[in-house]
Amino acid sequence: MTGYGRAEMEHKGRIWTVEVRCVNNRFLDVKIKLPRDYGTLEEIVRRRVGDFQQRGRVDVSLTVSGDFSDLVSVRVDRNLAATYQRALAVLAEQLGVAPEYDLLRFATLPDVLTREQQQEDVDALAPVVDQVVSQALQRCLEMREQEARHLADDLRERLGSFTAVLQSIEDQVPILVQQRQSALQERLTKLLGTVDLDPARLAQEVAILADKTDVTEELVRLRSHIRKWEQLFASTEPVGRTLDFLIQEFLREVNTIASKINDARIAHQTVALKSELEKMREQVQNIE
């Protein structure tokens, strides 16, 4: 299921912002974008994503902005400054002028003052990053859960339609077998005329016919699959892959029913069953 989450947190004058986007995928695929010099935080982010999701493509973007002045220092080269001072004093004496020292101009002489960028203690940021990432993932999860409720309603409705058509087929099978038995007896009577039919032979042919159209096992298995589906739907564990496999088992039994029963009306109904299953399979791909 798709989702989006965003969270911000202030820490030491800097704003940490995390954006999470997730889309459907058969496996968990995590892409993480971090600011330069903060690469060691990736494992924390990846581990936290794994706590929230087991399937899906997840893109996590972490940015930081604000005041970084605490990471800047100015180094004074006193020895170099003293060297400049002596050189200027010699120059003033040679020119016959009084030496004048303007501190601000003096500080602009090359390499007297050097700006240095300090490295931040990234390990100390771990709790902050973990918290803001968790908040973004939680908001993404809430969006996914809202979508999941709509998806669950759709799948329940489709399973209800599937079950209703299956019940109709189940009700028709005994009638269809009886009709074929009567048709077989009628054809034999026309073919043999006044010849007496062997009741045992007729019963044997009817049994063979009934066995060819017997889909009791397939119907029982489908009912079992439906119960299993309902159990999985009530679970709080990730069930997407199991449901995907179960859809294949549904299709297997429906195809067997279609091949065993040569009847136009039931054939149309099995097509309707497969159509519902294909739609369910598309939706199941969105389930973790």
Q: Which residues lie below 8 Å from residue 15, measured CB to CB, with a gap of 6+?
A: 8, 9, 64, 65, 66
- Structural domain contains residue 219: yes
Of the candidate ranges 83-97, 140-154, 194-208, the one whose mean pLDDT is the lowest: 194-208
Tell me if 269 is assigned to some domain: yes
Does a structural domain hold residue 164?
yes
Whether 164 and 267 share a structural domain: yes
Q: Which of 176-185, 205-214, 216-225 has the lowest mean pLDDT?
A: 205-214
What are the C-alpha distances in Å from 100 to residues 38, 89, 201, 252? Answer: 47, 9, 132, 98
Cross-strand partners of 62: 18
Average pLDDT over residues 225-236: 88
Residue 38 CA to residue 129 CA, distance in Å, equals: 10
Q: Would the pLDDT of 191 be above 80?
A: no
- pLDDT, tens digit (0-9, with 9 covering 90-100), for 64-113: 888 777 777 788 888 888 888 888 888 888 888 887 777 887 788 888 88
What are the tens digits of pLDDT across the range 218-229? 899 999 999 999
| Mean pLDDT lowest among 2-6, 9-13, 45-49, 116-120 | 116-120
pLDDT of residue 267: 86
Same domain, 165 and 272: yes
Q: Which residues contact 204 (CB under 8 A, 6 or more apart)?
A: none
Burial class (CB in 10 A: 0-12, 13-18, 19+), 180: middle
In the 8-state DSSP scheme, what is residue 71? G
pLDDT tens digits along 251-268:
999 999 888 887 788 889
Q: Are 170 and 199 in contact (CB under 8 A)?
A: no
Asked whether residue 171 is domain-assigned, the answer is yes
What average pLDDT does the chain have? 84
Domain limits at 97? 78-111
Q: How far is it, in rounded angstroms, from Cα 223 to Cα 273?
A: 14
Same domain, residue pair 100 and 205? no
Q: CA angle, 263 as apex, 261 and 267 as ends, to 5°?
A: 85
Domain count along the chain: 2
pLDDT at position 208, please? Answer: 59
Same domain flag for 98 and 196: no
Q: 209 pLDDT exceeds 60?
A: no
Q: Is 16 part of any domain?
A: no
pTM value > 0.85: no
249 within some domain? yes
191 and 280 in a single domain? The answer is yes
Q: Does 44 fall in a domain?
A: no
Query: Do 271 and 163 sit in the same domain of this protein?
Result: yes
- Assess whether 162 and 231 both reside in one domain: yes
Q: In the predicted model, is pLDDT for residue 43 greater than 80?
A: yes
Q: Confirm whether 12 is domain-assigned.
A: no
